[in-house]
A and B are shown apart, each in its own frame.
Chain A
Amino acid sequence: MSDRGLAWLLLSPALLVLATLTVYPALWVLWLAFQYRIPVFGISRWAGLDHFAFLAEGTRFWNAAWVTGVFTVTSVALESALGLAIAVALRGQRGGRRTALALLLLAWALPSVVTAKMFEWLYHPAGGLVNFLLGDRAINWLGDPALALPSLILADVWRATPFVALLCYARLLTIPPDLYEAAEVDGAAGLQAFARITWPLVRPILLVTMLFRTLDAIRAFDIMFVLTGGGPAGSTESLTVYAYRALFQTLQIGLGSAIGVVVFALVMVVAAVYLRLIGRPERTA
């Protein structure tokens, strides 16, 4: 068999699976978004742009878009700052690196449902550690519409910061120590050394990391669905949670798909913007 033939033979199972279970659904969801589709009642009709028109007029959609926006921007910003700080702190670590990384990565590796349940308990008004440490307060972190979103963001920051920290840390390790020694000779230390050496070198990788984190934050579902369920009163209902409720709680597959398509589009736009910021990714050929 020719190499070319063999190549396709080896590729085809994977491509077949991806075509059936990824590409086909991705195209199908576009079609569904233009349908009234309620499987339990056998409803399947063309809806045209009705779902999108309905979303554009509805406060629920714009509320969800706002929640997704605030959640994404705030958590990515916090994760980046905190992650970079942890990476810088870790860089000087000599002993116990493995332990340090294990402690750090644990938060990232746990199922987000576990994280959500953990924080639900931490935030519990009467049994939670947070109120206990604040001196026996009775703050209802997840029940107060003003506090629920910040509380949710904090849980996500806890979960995702290690990812940022790890990538920045890996980059920092590749900076030769003599660069810092040279800077020290020039009288630059601490913040100055950071601004002159660390920042320029770590900036590109931080941007890439932020890209990943932004995409993940837009797509995030588990943590808000389990921690707050989108409540109270919709104050933490992101686009993904709204889509899920439309899909599986009110069984409107068409409307839910339309919201899914919006998330899809958002992800693509954000990816394009970041890629422009970062510069064309290296084509590996």
Chain B
Amino acid sequence: MAPRPARAAAAGLFLPLLLALSAGGCGERPGAGAPITLVFKHAKILGPADPMPGLLRRFEADHPGVRVQSEALTWSSDEQHQFYVINLEGGGPPFDVMMLDVIWVPEFARAGWILDLTSSVPPAERDAHFPTAIAPAMQDGRLWALPWFMNVGLLYYRADLLAKYGFGAPPETYEELTAQVRRIRAGERDPSLDGYLWQGKQYEGGMVNVLEALWANGARLLDEAGRPFPEAERARESLAFLRGLIESGVSPAWVTAADEELTRRPFGDGRAIFLRSWPYALDLFELPDSRVRGKVGVAPIPRLRHGPVGAASTGGAHLAVSARTRHRDLAVALARFLTSETAQRAMTEGAALRPSRPALYRDAGLIARDPSLPALHGLMLRGHPRPITPYYLMLSTTLQPEFSAVLVGRKSPARAMRDATAQVEHLLRSVTP
């Protein structure tokens, strides 16, 4: 995706003209006069074949006189967020359609940066997505964004090792997981073979892992009123359990500083039995030169004593329309097109992304290319969104250091929960009048 300076410059030249035209209040009439340019901001799509150019040309063909200019965001999620905040508060060139991390949608809605899509999207279209993907796009009963692709937490396991030691199925509980790790490591006598890898670094991914541990024990982070740890004892057990994984050696100490890639690599090199990660890793494990090709299975995240199996966090990206767009209808049309079944099928085929539409998980053509789809379908349905609140990012960054302190053993779970509660309460005092 090389930048096209000539085209960008041309857009820059046309922009003042367009502003003058639309200021006249005549709305947008594509096809007549100067071409309209829609700017689409999104992260670079990785994968075998980038489907974006084809999709955008197709949209342009359906809308004569409209050009879509695709602009790549930086790689890191924090930077994308900072870019949006500064840009949407004023200043900076406007754009029309933007990719949002699912956890930002309520925040952007509350800040007034994105358009309410409720009346533009027919109910049937909305219901064609997983409810777990639509729920985080809702705020105050309105719909603010459309799901573009979806993620869910998974347990990867080494099917070959489990079979070798007579375990017929992947673990349903963490107790079983621990027992399997002990048995297999005792048998393999390989000091470089780790047990269970997950993401314990102080960042959003670490937050996801803590949330999954809470849910796995039937505990929530916040109750309906936003108060933290309504099931305090279960939450304490969950945190103690995560720390216990490290103390008992089931997980290596370095997981407390690990993100997705740092844990994916050793598992991909055959140096771990279990891994908690997102679906993207599956494609990498099945590459022709992968050392674990054909040896990896996926299962729901196990449970602790009080919780359900497969209480995994959902993730993914949504498309929203900027409140500063000058081409409201066209921008909404673009967002709807890019989240349509056609577009999501192309994204599933060309990039290592999973769709947010259940129908595609039953599509024979897609299943032929990716046999894991039916299994993922069940997991997506069972997944949990992270707390849906405009203050999620504030909450998460406030809580991350506390949870991190538990994982490295600097604080007891009870102490960290007390400190976390005080901070969340202070935060809530700030935001509620």
Of B202, B390, B426, the contact of A231 (CB 8 Å cutoff): B202
A43 to B422, CA, bound (A): 20
Interface 9-residue window, one of A34-42, A78-86, A94-102, A206-214: A34-42
| Shortest beta-carbon distance from A226 to chain B in Å | 14
- Contact between chains at B410 and A41 (CB < 8 Å): no
Contact residues in B for A222 (Cβ distance below 8 Å):
none
Q: In the complex, what residue of chain A is closest to B110 when comparing beta carbons? A: A41
- Contact between chains at B430 and A249 (CB < 8 Å): no
A250 to B107, CA, bound (A): 12
Of A38, A229, A232, A251, the contact of B408 (CB 8 Å cutoff): A232
Is B407's beta carbon under 8 Å from chain A? yes
| Shortest beta-carbon distance from A130 to chain B in Å | 17
- Contact between chains at B404 and A234 (CB < 8 Å): yes
Contact A143-B257, Cβ < 8 Å, known A60-B419, A230-B401, A232-B202: yes
Binary CB contact string for chain A from 242 to 275 against chain B (1 if under 8 A, 0 otherwise): 0001000111101100000000000000000000
Within 8 A of B (CB), among A37-70: 38-41, 43, 45, 47, 50-51, 54, 57-60
- Contact between chains at A38 and B423 (CB < 8 Å): no
Q: In the complex, what residue of chain B is closest to A40 when comparing beta carbons? A: B111
Is B191's beta carbon under 8 Å from chain A? no
- Contact between chains at A140 and B410 (CB < 8 Å): no
Is B49's beta carbon under 8 Å from chain A? no
- Contact between chains at A41 and B419 (CB < 8 Å): no
Contact residues in A for B111 (Cβ distance below 8 Å):
40-41
- Contact between chains at A40 and B431 (CB < 8 Å): no
Is A110's beta carbon under 8 Å from chain B? no
| Shortest beta-carbon distance from B236 to chain A in Å | 17
Is A115's beta carbon under 8 Å from chain B? no
Is A120's beta carbon under 8 Å from chain B? no
- Contact between chains at B407 and A245 (CB < 8 Å): no
Within 8 A of A (CB), among B337-378: none
Q: In the complex, what residue of chain B is closest to A230 when comparing beta carbons? A: B401
- Contact between chains at A58 and B422 (CB < 8 Å): yes
Binary CB contact string for chain B from 75 to 106 against chain A (1 if under 8 A, 0 otherwise): 00000000001000100000000000000000
A45 to B432, CA, bound (A): 10
Contact A233-B202, Cβ < 8 Å, known A45-B433, A145-B408, A249-B397: yes
Is A237's beta carbon under 8 Å from chain B? yes
- Contact between chains at B430 and A252 (CB < 8 Å): yes
- Contact between chains at B202 and A54 (CB < 8 Å): no
- Contact between chains at A250 and B426 (CB < 8 Å): no
Contact residues in A for B430 (Cβ distance below 8 Å):
36, 38, 43, 47, 252, 254-255
- Contact between chains at B398 and A250 (CB < 8 Å): yes
Contact residues in A for B257 (Cβ distance below 8 Å):
140, 143, 232
- Contact between chains at B110 and A252 (CB < 8 Å): no
| Shortest beta-carbon distance from B269 to chain A in Å | 14
Contact residues in A for B202 (Cβ distance below 8 Å):
229, 231-233
A150 to B408, CA, bound (A): 17
- Contact between chains at B404 and A232 (CB < 8 Å): yes
A36 to B393, CA, bound (A): 17
Interface residues on A, range: 20 to 34
Contact residues in B for A250 (Cβ distance below 8 Å):
393-394, 397-398, 427
Within 8 A of B (CB), among A128-153: 140, 143, 145
Is B322's beta carbon under 8 Å from chain A? no
Contact A233-B426, Cβ < 8 Å, known A58-B419, A60-B419, A145-B410: no
| Shortest beta-carbon distance from A141 to chain B in Å | 12
Is B209's beta carbon under 8 Å from chain A? no
Binary CB contact string for chain B from 50 to 73 against chain A (1 if under 8 A, 0 otherwise): 000000000000000000000000
- Contact between chains at B404 and A255 (CB < 8 Å): no
Q: In the complex, what residue of chain A is closest to B430 when comparing beta carbons? A: A36
- Contact between chains at A234 and B397 (CB < 8 Å): no
Of A43, A45, A232, A255, the contact of B426 (CB 8 Å cutoff): A255
Q: In the complex, what residue of chain B is closest to A229 when comparing beta carbons? A: B202
Is A112's beta carbon under 8 Å from chain B? no
Is B429's beta carbon under 8 Å from chain A? yes
Contact residues in A for B423 (Cβ distance below 8 Å):
58, 60
- Contact between chains at B426 and A54 (CB < 8 Å): yes
Contact residues in B for A72 (Cβ distance below 8 Å):
none
- Contact between chains at B429 and A50 (CB < 8 Å): yes
Is B256's beta carbon under 8 Å from chain A? yes
Is B174's beta carbon under 8 Å from chain A? no
Of A43, A45, A234, A252, the contact of B401 (CB 8 Å cutoff): A234
Is B241's beta carbon under 8 Å from chain A? no
A250 to B392, CA, bound (A): 10
- Contact between chains at B401 and A60 (CB < 8 Å): yes
Contact residues in B for A161 (Cβ distance below 8 Å):
none
A230 to B405, CA, bound (A): 12
Is A238's beta carbon under 8 Å from chain B? no
- Contact between chains at A231 and B404 (CB < 8 Å): yes
Contact A43-B408, Cβ < 8 Å, known A58-B422, A233-B202: no
A43 to B397, CA, bound (A): 19
- Contact between chains at B431 and A233 (CB < 8 Å): no
| Shortest beta-carbon distance from B189 to chain A in Å | 21
Contact residues in B for A51 (Cβ distance below 8 Å):
426
| Shortest beta-carbon distance from B271 to chain A in Å | 14
| Shortest beta-carbon distance from B262 to chain A in Å | 11
Contact residues in B for A233 (Cβ distance below 8 Å):
202, 256, 401, 404-405, 407-408, 410-411
Contact residues in B for A39 (Cβ distance below 8 Å):
89
4 further A-B contacts with Cβ under 8 Å, apart from A40-B107, A47-B430, A57-B422, are: A47-B429, A58-B422, A60-B402, A249-B397
9 closest Cβ contacts across the A-B interface?
A233-B405, A36-B430, A250-B394, A233-B404, A233-B408, A249-B397, A143-B257, A54-B426, A233-B410
30 A-B pairs in the complex with CB atoms less than 8 angstroms apart: A36-B430, A40-B85, A40-B111, A41-B111, A41-B431, A43-B430, A47-B429, A47-B430, A54-B426, A57-B422, A58-B423, A59-B415, A60-B401, A60-B423, A143-B256, A143-B257, A145-B408, A145-B410, A229-B202, A232-B202, A232-B408, A233-B256, A233-B401, A233-B404, A233-B405, A250-B397, A250-B398, A252-B394, A254-B430, A255-B426
- A-side residues, CB < 8 A to B, are 36, 38-41, 43, 45, 47, 50-51, 54, 57-60, 140, 143, 145, 229-235, 237, 245, 249-252, 254-255
